[in-house]
Structure 1
Amino acid sequence: MPWLLKSGPLIYVRARADGRRRPSWACQLASRPLYMSTDKMNKKVCTGEEKLETLPSSVFEMSMTGNSYSIYNAVYAVAHAFSTRHSSQVKHRAMADGVRLDQQPWQMCPISICNDHCSSGYRRAKKEGKAFCCYDCFPCPEGKISNQKDMDDCFQCSEEQYPNIGQDICLPKEISFLTYNEPLGISLVTLALLLTFTTTLVLRIFIKHKETPIVKANNRTLTYVLLLALILTFLCPLLFIGQPTKITCLLRQTAFAVIFSVAVSCILAKTTIVVLAFMATKPGSRMRRWVGGNLAISIVLFSFLIQVMICSAWLIVAPPLPDLDKHSVTKVIVLECNEGSVTMFYCVLGFMGMLAMVSFTVAFLARKLPDSFNEAKFITFSMLVFCSVWLSFVPTYLSTKGKYMVAAEIFSIMASSFGLLGCIFFPKCYIILVRPELNSRGQLTIRKK
């Protein structure tokens, strides 16, 4: 119970009615006269064992009077009012800041009062003119992910990985190249071997009937060289299929370029010989000395050496080597042959294209020669097919990626080679095998007239 000091300043002390010991400071206060000096006050020290009953009643009032009770109620009311006001202010600030009153100091960032969290796969962007806690959620751009909530920005996967559909994790890329085990590789290998067998069969037919007029009339040596070159050309796609190695990368384009240049130069030589042979039949013509095997061999050898020099320069300057393409295809790493110098690669293709265009031009000019020299008509059509295939190849090669780019080149090689084989040799095989009566000198003479 509170009590009131009767003399001196008003001092409020909590008393106990059960008669327990009073704290030492109460004892000191009770035993200290108001007029006592400081020196004398310090000499008398309470023991701490005093009881309330022993305190002088003149100083400490032990009973509850009306006056002291009124003072007690007034002080209690003021204290309660201050406590209520303080609690109300703390609660108001907590609600304004979005903080739960029952949370621990280690918990939770302030909760947005504008929108929900941005989930993984999204990034957040602050709303203009809104509070700092208000933001929009936008999906990560292509190729990037976010793997946590409320990320301010998405990040790129490594070169060996790619984002999943939800764009919240990175998945490892697979190694890809044209193999012998997949359906595309099996189809290309089967087609290449079938065309190789067909060309070998045509060569065997021409060797078997080498003494017939239709074989002799079109330069047997050039015919054999052309067929051998086509056989090797059909086998070239085997270098393009399978895991690229240093050897296969060096041989892919160079072997194909040299062999194909020989094939096209043989066609150019055959067409040139046909034109010169017709011109040599005119009276007083000086073209007879140019007609013969030496000119044909010179054309083929010259073209062969030019292409060999271009390929040699390519291998010296920047040779093709195995490489990993990590960017062309999203979900795979393409194991391929890096062409090294793209300029040299197109120089090789350009030389073959030049030979093809010259052959086409000469054959087109000779298409109206007499029937005994009508091979120029077939060569014209074959070179038209050849040029069409390779003109289509360039945009296709540039627009495809990965193993399909390799498949496009293989298909172009086989399609153009088959065009030469079919247009030039199939009509002759038909005469040799189905219409042998037309394969005679008399028939050729009659057709010439």
Structure 2
Amino acid sequence: MPTFSAQVGTLLELYKNPQTPESVWSQSCVPGFQKIRQEGRPVCCFICVSCPESDISNQTNAKQCIQCPAQEYPNSERTRCLSKHVMFLDFDDALGTTMASMALCFFVITAVALGIFVKHRDTPIVKANNQALSFILLISLLPCFLCSLLFIGHPNTATCVLQQVTFGLVFTVAVSIILAKTITVILAFKAMKPGRKMRCLLVSGASNSVIPICSLIQMIICGIWLGTSPPFVDVDSHSEPRNLIIMCNKGSITAFYCVLGYLGFLALGSFTVAFLARNLPDTFNEAKFLTFSMLVFCSVWVTFVPVYHSTKGKFMVAVKVFSILASSAGLLGCIFAPKCYIILLRPDKNSWKALKNRRGFK
């Protein structure tokens, strides 16, 4: 037990160095927490609550947390704000590099296929089923592959507009060509029967008028889109807390789905017509290949919609790029791969003699 003199010494020390007594009810709140007063208790009674997910406090006993700006996010201790990482599908990313490489590879393969068809343009398999449309389809597939590159890299106003318009137009041209080729197959079969009407339609190239008509309708839809609510560069700071996503806002979602819906309508129409013509007894009949190509095309874009809306950030863009490449590759592989195989590896089947034998067999 302290002596009287010791107690007197302690009192004198407190007199010389006075100190504010600490609350015996609550301890101080460290940075990263905020004070919340307890109702019905004395003023000195409070609890320390961690700051919300997007807020910080950088001082002791903070009465209120401070929200970080949209371009920043709090650190794990929630004591300071850090700059968000800018995110987009870049050419330097592994994913962006892979997509760009695939697009260029398919572009080269299409160019090679076009070269093969030009070199063997006088052979029966190239001449069959409207030679001119085959060339136009191969040429239209070149920008189909290249348009995917517009979705890679830092978005800007020009690329945001070109992405959607180019995609809608080049694919409309490609699908309308397939529709025209399918109609040509049907007219060619009908022309073999007595009657001049179908023969006149085939000779006049009436089926080819499908291409400009279908393309013009898509151009009108795109024109209305650009005139009312065009795509623009947007920043998404909410989807991913630590990333700032630079993206292209479609402007009008209705217009976007009108473009996609019209393209789907054409694809479904082409598939239906090709399916009905698949068993026509025509030499080098490519209706079966057209049917399968449109089945692949429709499957890709039907799958695209739910997958696209279930992803975020640069992976949304990657899904669309992959869909563009997959659908274009489906058209190239299903329609032209069998013909290139016969031209290069089975030239015996690519002759008028083989053609006569095939007719005789049937």
Deviates more, 1:260-269 or 1:116-125: 116-125
Distance 2:26 2:291 in 1: 73
8 Å contact 1:431–1:439 — kept in the other structure?
yes
Return 5+ residue gaps in structure 1 as ranges.
Answer: 1-90, 92-99
Give RMSD over aligned pairs. 2.3
Find the counterpart in structure 1 of residue 3 from structure 2: none
Matched, 1:144 2:55: yes
Find the counterpart in structure 2 of residue 162 from structure 1: 73
Cα deviation code 1:264-301 (max 9, x no counterpart): 10111111111222233234474333224622320001
Find the counterpart in structure 1 of residue 328 from structure 2: 417
Alignment partner of 2:127 out of 216, 224, 231: 216
Aligned with 1:372: secondary structure? coil
8 Å contact 1:267–1:359 — kept in the other structure?
yes
Cα deviation code 1:382-416 (max 9, x no counterpart): 11111111112222222323322222211111110
Find the counterpart in structure 2 of residue 277 from structure 1: 188
Distance 1:349 1:446 in 2: 45
The CA deviation at 1:103 is 6.6
Q: 1:101 to 1:164 in 2, by over 3 A?
A: farther
8 Å contact 2:129–2:285 — kept in the other structure?
no
Distance 1:282 1:222 in 2: 24
Count of aligned pairs = 348
Equivalence map 1:79-158=2 (5 Å): 104=18, 111-127=22-38, 130-158=41-69
Cα deviation code 1:110-151 (max 9, x no counterpart): 644234333222334344654443333333232222223333
Distance 2:282 2:25 in 1: 90
Equivalence map 1:339-378=2 (5 Å): 339-370=250-281, 372-378=283-289
Distance 2:301 2:16 in 1: 77
Q: Aligned partner of 1:158: which letter? A: P
Find the counterpart in structure 2 of residue 238 from structure 1: 149
Equivalence map 1:293-312=2 (5 Å): 294-312=205-223
Distance 1:410 1:401 in 2: 14
8 Å contact 2:172–2:263 — kept in the other structure?
yes
Q: 1:133 to 1:326 in 2, by over 3 A?
A: same
Find the counterpart in structure 2 of residue 404 from structure 1: 315
Alignment partner of 1:225 out of 136, 145, 149: 136
Q: Aligned partner of 1:133: which letter? A: C
Aligned with 2:283: secondary structure? helix
Find the counterpart in structure 1 of residue 235 from structure 2: 324
- Which structure's residues are more often helix, by fraction? 2
The CA deviation at 1:323 is 2.8
Distance 2:299 2:210 in 1: 24
8 Å contact 1:264–1:355 — kept in the other structure?
yes
Return 5+ residue gaps in structure 2 as ranges.
Answer: 1-10
8 Å contact 2:70–2:237 — kept in the other structure?
yes
The CA deviation at 1:258 is 0.7
Distance 2:83 2:52 in 1: 19
Find the counterpart in structure 2 of residue 334 from structure 1: 245
Deviates more, 1:272-281 or 1:378-387: 272-281
* TM score, norm. by length of structure 2: 0.88
* TM score, norm. by length of structure 1: 0.72
Matched, 1:435 2:346: yes
Distance 2:76 2:204 in 1: 66
Q: Aligned partner of 1:183: which letter? A: A
Aligned with 1:437: secondary structure? helix
8 Å contact 2:189–2:282 — kept in the other structure?
no
Aligned with 1:396: secondary structure? helix
Matched, 1:315 2:192: no
Q: Aligned partner of 1:397: which letter? A: Y
Find the counterpart in structure 1 of residue 5 from structure 2: none
